[in-house]
Structure 1
Amino acid sequence: MRRIRTLSAVRHVAAGAVLALLAGVGTASAAGFTPSPTPSAPPASRPAAGPEDATAAGSRPVSGKNPSAGPQFKKSGSTWRVITPETILSNTVTDADGDKSTLTFEVWTTDANGKPKTQVKLTDANPYGVLVSGYVASGKPASVPVPYGKLKPGVTYTFHTNAFDGSLYETTWSPWANFRIEPYVKFPAPQASSTIDPVAQKIIEFTRTDPGPALPTLRKDGTTLKAPTQKRTCGKPDAQGHKLCVELNPPSKKARNALRASAPLGPGVDLVDWCYDKPSGKDYMSRTEACMKTIGSGTLIFTDTDPNKPALGTATFNIEQRIKTYPKKGDSGSNFAEFDQQIMLVPTHIDPVLKGVRMKWNVGSTCKSCVTSNIRWADDQNNPAGGDAYWPIEMDGRYGGRWGTIQTTWSGTGKEIIDLGWSITATVDAGGNPATANFGTSGDVRVRELAPRCDDILKGVAPGCVLPFFKPTYTVDTNLYPAAGAYYWLMQEKMPDHAGSVKWDSLLHYLGPDTTATRPDGKPWTSDDSRDKVCPSSWAAHRADASVGTMDCDEYAMASTHESGGFPGGVNQVSSGDQCAQLFTDKLGDGSANFGLLADTRTATNGPAWKERCGRAGIESTQNRKAFNKLNPAIWRLLDNDGFFVSNPGFEHCAYADTTCAWRKVG
């Protein structure tokens, strides 16, 4: 046991009073900062924790050998990775006599080799610029919070500690511990201009769920999920015993790889102008158009009464279909919401014995409020081709295509999803009864990938139609709004449901005017209601460098979605925005012109656990307000619960968010 010192209690009280003053509790300030001349200066020469009693007997307290920095007190190699400039420095302290002790924390910048370079002033409360912890029991950790503004994001620092028990200082410093304040994402100021189009869409490939009994149902990778159940269908024999059959076959590998004929189409022939040059064997679509190229070829087989004899003649046609919807009336030239359909029939061979071939296109619909036109047939140059698709026998064997187009106008109210079905009925002049081939429908009722939806719900916008199976992607202009894009990307990577991420195939769902969610007063729930839950008026921005500008509260997922933390009954619902991951923007201090996204630890002192269901961040006001302002529901006719993605192209090159992701310019 150490011998009792007669003045120890007095000194302990006195040291406590001095410590309170040095920690900034009092109103007085110490004299000007005097940097330590050397990193190895004896602790007693800089007695920030109180004066030493060199005559005191007993053991000196000792700092731990493993100083740490946080939050979240995790290392990358030999360096502590800190997520906020309001760093917590910590170390254990031991006193052999069992006395309580304090720790003094001294921080230095580092040179290129990670060695101490220049002492950092952490406080004005003492002339040494160091922070002193409160007294802790022997063997326990002592910690100090570094006030905001003393340490800079993006900079590597090192620190060490020394212990003081109220009478004696430790004779040496603890080992050095390096730490770096690393942002989750870093980015520059907004660029002056950008070529990113936030609402531009890419054509996607899709797989039909109901291609009919004559064609295989395919998986996304092109392999067969379900084989055809009836490849060939036949009409009844005629009085002479002649029978006509039709057989469908998906495009062969040769057909898939074949280039289109060089002869150009006439203007306006193809209903979907980008479809003609797409490879066969796949189906393609956008929010407003579909291009079906998996129907392949149809073969007409004309036989006599003896099935063992060769066919009397055959004819083969390449077959494709199109759908085009118009997001608002007037786009089509009519005064109604409208969608059009088209079939392309191109003969590749017709035996003269058939004398002539006629094709009838059958289009079915479940629409309750539609008017459908007669089919308009045209040739490859868009010249009228009569009331049906007919090919007389040509002696040179050269046959042109026929394009049948049908218009459907919708005059209903509310919204209606319209199921469609298609087939062709063939006849030949040589005899036999008609034979019909079924192309299937607009899709299984659980999917309806080709079913148009028409509505008049969007206020201030004319009625229109779209293909809602296609999920659009809103592209944040990360050149103009890098802080907002960084935040959205980080939340998509870190949130448990990855809401809105293309990479994770996780949709956001729009909060539309036709929502059934209501407020307590019975009125429809709005995005303002969701926003007020996550970003109430009581929210205050975290301190930041003046170059950041004014920060707004920005929530993710957006208040205009069902995934918002404020949406009632949603998968991410919270009772308060305090339950969201808290972040803010700050300037980096690494000599660059960059900014970073860091943890706001005012509410959750250890920073985000990344189990949070939402995000709340301080984002520069202009970026917060403009990054998402081109999401115009009318462009895609977004109604309630419609799915969409959000892309953040300046950050999507980063494979994951476990290390700092650095912005890249796009375009």
Structure 2
Amino acid sequence: MFRTNAYDGSLYETEWSPWARFRVELPVDLTLPTPNYASPNPNHFDAQKPHYYQTKPLGQAGTPLSERSTSAAKDAVEQCSEPDADGRQVCFGKSTPAPKGKAPHASEKAGAAAATADVEWCTTNFESILATRFIQCDVRTVPVIIRMDGVPQAVANFMFLRMLELDGQNTFTEHLTIEPAQQIPPAFREINFVGWNHLCETSCTPQEQPVTAWKGKPWWVPGEMHSATLTTPFSWDTSLAGTDYRFKPDIQIDANILPADGKIRPFMTGYQWSLDYDGGTEDLDRIRCDTPAGDAPAGSVPGCVFVNVAPTYTFNAKAFPQAAAHAWLIQKATAKHPGSMVDQKPLYYMGDEAQNNRSRTRICPTGWAANNGDPSALVDAGDTLNCDEFAFASSYNSGGMSSTEGGINPAIPSGKTTPSGDACISMYAKKHGSMIHLFSQNGADPTFNEVCGRAAISGMHNQESMGGHFANFMKQMRIKDKDAYWLDTRMDDGGTCRYGVGGGQPVICELVAQ
């Protein structure tokens, strides 16, 4: 307890202040929820939510490298026939840009629902482009235009939906749905999609379907609002072991457009899907297929992913809150925000085991956890203190990986040239009262300009939060070196954080596991 009596240099106050409690607060004090070790690990596939972020593997064109900005995307173009002798032509206009971050809802149209029955977020209700690691859905409002000397005479807006589904070891499937966005105007006599041609790179073969394969007739007259859907399988060559392929399936759609006056019947040679992308999503449908090498683990099989769609790894925060809280703080409170989808700062997997060990040793030298931790954080007598580093040593984001080694966030202490954990935020877990807290290390106050964190925590929490769970994620999401992924820590402050002076970073919080 303390009280004060002010002095101005010549005179003391005659009244003392009320007594107040005196408390020492460390710069970081996170109160952790009580662990529930019966909580199951999240299902990797259920945890993947569709999004529109195009996140390429590290170092590929359009991908940030050492905080480099992304390259500009090409603009969509109108696709028109040649004008006839009277100056009349038909065009597929540029599609409507896709709204970002809008959650689709169930379709009311039977045709689209039948094509995407198991994917409720892929509908023709409005324009959107969304993807997971295995499904990509692109929905566009595409105007069909009759022009005279360049001036629009009539417009019919269509909804085009293309869903690509990576649903097999050596196959994948395209579902194409076409339907009017509103009734066909009377200025048209008929709009008839008469031909289609699928394109794919070498070693990828589309299996073209006959006109009878359409569900719903692919032509419309004024007043009609039905849907038409065509399902097209693709196959790819899996005969060569240890091989990666890049495929970008494309489709050209031919249509006859008949004006109501019947004077001409312009023939439009192909609306081509790849010429009408919304900016910044033009490679969201890029597919990487690979075959296991000869020395691959048993059970490895050929397969495909959308390589520019980063999957999400999810912590089991209810069971292992010490590790989840550490990652939450570094992800939320530092400028690098490693693994945060909200901040568009992905983690990039680094598969070199020797580099992994170098990075870990630099951040967590032998004995650091034992010298700086507190045994009250341990789960039982068999548990030992571990140094938990974040960003992970198995990532190019690791503070222990120098820029000459390919690292993008090296932690270099002032006056040094080699990465070291001394330049990270340092913390330790400790029981305080009945709860485990994560505190900053005494004498190592963070500035929150650090690029990494290390924490002396329970070895069980550290190892079980990753271990086999992360290995399964890697296998199921077909993660390769330099692939991007997100981290969902499943921790939340619930609005409890009190903010420190200087930078306004959250330092004192009561966390809740989701």
TM-score by length of structure 2 reads 0.71
Aligned to 1:571: 408
Conserved? CA contact 2:314–2:489, under 8 Å: yes
Aligned to 1:432: 265
For 1:296, give the aligned amino acid: T
1:499 aligns with 2:338: yes
Distance 1:252 1:598, change over 3 A: closer
Aligned to 2:219: 391
Conserved? CA contact 1:296–1:319, under 8 Å: yes
Aligned to 2:414: none
Tell me the alpha carbon deviations over residues 438-478 of structure 1, each in whole angstroms, 9 at most, x when there is no partner. Answer: 43347889962221122235843212211122222222222
1:114 aligns with 2:42: no
Partners of 1:389 and 1:202 lie apart in 2 by 33
Conserved? CA contact 1:359–1:389, under 8 Å: no
Query: How many Å apart are 1:529 and its aligned residue?
Result: 4.4
Tell me the alpha carbon deviations over residues 127-163 of structure 1, each in whole angstroms, 9 at most, x when there is no partner. Answer: xxxxxxxxxxxxxxxxxxxxxxxxxxxxxxx5xxxxx
RMSD, matched Cα: 4.4
For 1:203, give the aligned amino acid: P
1:646 pairs with one of 470, 477, 487: 487
Query: How many Å apart are 1:321 and its aligned residue?
Result: 1.6
Conserved? CA contact 2:111–2:229, under 8 Å: no
1:583 pairs with one of 411, 424, 427: 427
Distance 1:495 1:437, change over 3 A: same
Conserved? CA contact 1:582–1:616, under 8 Å: yes
Aligned to 1:282: 128
Partners of 1:39 and 1:229 lie apart in 2 by 73
Distance 1:404 1:652, change over 3 A: farther
| Identical counterparts, % of pairs | 20
Query: How many Å apart are 1:497 and its aligned residue?
Result: 2.0
Partners of 1:534 and 1:260 lie apart in 2 by 48
Query: How many Å apart are 1:623 and its aligned residue?
Result: 1.0
Query: How many Å apart are 1:625 and its aligned residue?
Result: 0.9
Partners of 1:266 and 1:245 lie apart in 2 by 26
Distance 1:289 1:428, change over 3 A: same
Partners of 2:485 and 2:221 lie apart in 1 by 51
Distance 1:361 1:243, change over 3 A: farther
Tell me the alpha carbon deviations over residues 294-343 of structure 1, each in whole angstroms, 9 at most, x when there is no partner. Answer: x2134264x9xx979997x98664322222224xxxxx2xx52x332232
Partners of 2:150 and 2:440 lie apart in 1 by 80
Distance 1:298 1:535, change over 3 A: same
Query: How many Å apart are 1:488 and its aligned residue?
Result: 0.7
2:36 pairs with one of 188, 191, 196: 191
For 1:247, give the aligned amino acid: F
Tell me the alpha carbon deviations over residues 586-635 of structure 1, each in whole angstroms, 9 at most, x when there is no partner. Answer: 0113xxx211112334xxx4444544443221111221111124222122
**Secondary structure of residue in 1 paired with 2:460:** helix
1:291 aligns with 2:129: no
Aligned to 1:341: 174
Partners of 1:418 and 1:652 lie apart in 2 by 42
2:49 pairs with one of 189, 192, 202: 202
For 2:344, give the aligned amino acid: D
1:406 aligns with 2:232: yes
Partners of 2:325 and 2:107 lie apart in 1 by 47
Query: How many Å apart are 1:355 and its aligned residue?
Result: 6.5
Aligned to 1:71: none
Query: How many Å apart are 1:364 and its aligned residue?
Result: 2.9
Partners of 1:444 and 1:184 lie apart in 2 by 43
Q: Which has the higher contact order (CA 8 A, sep 6+)?
A: 2
Partners of 2:312 and 2:192 lie apart in 1 by 45
For 1:469, give the aligned amino acid: N
Partners of 1:463 and 1:314 lie apart in 2 by 45
Aligned to 1:616: 454
Aligned to 1:474: 313
Distance 1:355 1:511, change over 3 A: closer
Partners of 1:572 and 1:292 lie apart in 2 by 34
Conserved? CA contact 1:314–1:354, under 8 Å: no
Conserved? CA contact 1:271–1:342, under 8 Å: no
Tell me the alpha carbon deviations over residues 555-609 of structure 1, each in whole angstroms, 9 at most, x when there is no partner. Answer: 11112211123335213345444443322110113xxx211112334xxx44445
Aligned to 2:507: 659
For 1:551, give the aligned amino acid: L
Conserved? CA contact 1:587–1:594, under 8 Å: yes
Query: How many Å apart are 1:494 and its aligned residue?
Result: 4.2
Partners of 1:228 and 1:612 lie apart in 2 by 41
1:324 aligns with 2:165: yes
Aligned to 1:544: 374
Query: How many Å apart are 1:554 and its aligned residue?
Result: 1.2
For 1:270, give the aligned amino acid: T
Conserved? CA contact 2:54–2:280, under 8 Å: no
**Secondary structure of residue in 2 paired with 1:659:** strand
Conserved? CA contact 1:376–1:405, under 8 Å: no
For 1:403, give the aligned amino acid: T
Partners of 1:579 and 1:182 lie apart in 2 by 16
Conserved? CA contact 1:500–1:645, under 8 Å: yes
Partners of 1:527 and 1:265 lie apart in 2 by 50
Aligned to 1:162: none
1:234 pairs with one of 81, 90, 97: 81
Distance 1:268 1:659, change over 3 A: same
**Secondary structure of residue in 2 paired with 1:440:** helix
Partners of 1:587 and 1:179 lie apart in 2 by 16
Conserved? CA contact 2:53–2:309, under 8 Å: no
TM-score by length of structure 1 reads 0.56
Distance 1:475 1:189, change over 3 A: same
Partners of 1:635 and 1:610 lie apart in 2 by 35
Alignment map for 1:263-278 (pairs within 5 Å): 264-265=110-111, 269-270=115-116, 273-277=119-123
For 2:486, give the aligned amino acid: F
Distance 1:531 1:443, change over 3 A: farther
Partners of 1:622 and 1:114 lie apart in 2 by 40
Distance 1:206 1:620, change over 3 A: closer
Distance 1:488 1:587, change over 3 A: same
Aligned to 1:453: 288
Matched positions, count: 440
1:362 aligns with 2:197: yes
Distance 1:640 1:557, change over 3 A: same
For 1:531, give the aligned amino acid: R
**Secondary structure of residue in 2 paired with 1:625:** helix
Gaps spanning 5+ residues in structure 1: where?
1-37, 41-64, 67-111, 116-157, 159-177, 209-224, 327-331, 379-383, 516-523
Distance 1:268 1:198, change over 3 A: same
Partners of 1:300 and 1:273 lie apart in 2 by 31
Conserved? CA contact 2:145–2:152, under 8 Å: no
Distance 1:355 1:226, change over 3 A: closer
Conserved? CA contact 2:103–2:121, under 8 Å: no
Aligned to 2:67: none
Distance 1:393 1:189, change over 3 A: closer
Distance 1:653 1:339, change over 3 A: farther
Partners of 1:575 and 1:310 lie apart in 2 by 63
**Secondary structure of residue in 2 paired with 1:561:** coil
